[in-house]
Structure formats: structure tokens, C-alpha cells
Amino acid sequence: MSFRHVVALALAFAVAGVAGCERHKPFWLLMDPPIKETGHPDPNCPLRDWTPMLHLFFSISDCEKTRQELQVSLTRKDFQDMTSKVFKKPFTDNQNRDMQTLASRSVCVASDDPRLAGH
């Protein structure tokens, strides 16, 4: 697990503690596959190497709803235009396809899922 994954998970656990979550009750993370050196998502990597979005979900249904909304948003031209403005340059068609692929491969995972462990 990379340093940024450790920081993201530590932040998620800290936020969950502040929010008053019971220790035995998992929260949900929307995880994206890592990007290979080629610049494309690699959904075949172990789940512990995936990147969690920095947002916690307290139900699988909320996580899945966000995952589906994200997939739809990435196909919309107005969303792509907004993203281009944020990054101050337009995304290429390949980059837009990669973002859509990344979103389509994302998964909702419980915080206590053993696949997130480093071993």
C-alpha cells in the first residue's frame, strides 16, 4: 500500500471516528483502480493498491448511487468542458475514455474488507 493510500485511509478512519461511528460498523469507500505506467487504469491489481476517493459513505446504497452518477457525469459534454476548465486544458478523447473506464471499473468496498489489508 502506498503512502498516499495510507494517508487516505487514515483520514477516512479519523473522519469516521469524529462522526461517531461505532468501531465495529464499517463504512464504505469508492475505490478506483490504479493507473498503469501506460496511463490506463489497471483493474487487475490487488484491491489494496486501489485508490480510495476521499469521501466516506455510511451505506452501500449511497456509495453505489454516487458511483453510478459519476459514470453518467463523465459521459456528458458539459462535465467534460467543466473538467477542462478546472485543469486549464481540454482533455483528449483518449483521456475522456480513460476517465470513463476508470469510473466504470470503480467499486464500493466496506472499510473492513480483508482485501484492503496489505498482506
Number of folded domains in the chain? 1
Q: Between residues 63 and 102, which one has the greater pLDDT? A: 63
Per residue in 26-81, pLDDT tens? 899 999 999 888 878 888 999 999 999 878 999 999 999 999 998 888 888 888 88
pLDDT on residue 43 = 87
pLDDT at residue 21 is higher than 80: no
CB count within 10 Å of CB 97 equals 13
User: Residue 116: is it exposed, middle or buried by C-beta count within 10 angstroms (0-12/13-18/19+)?
Assistant: buried
The pTM is what? 0.68
Range of the domain at 33: 3-116
β pairing state of 107-110 and 51-57: unpaired
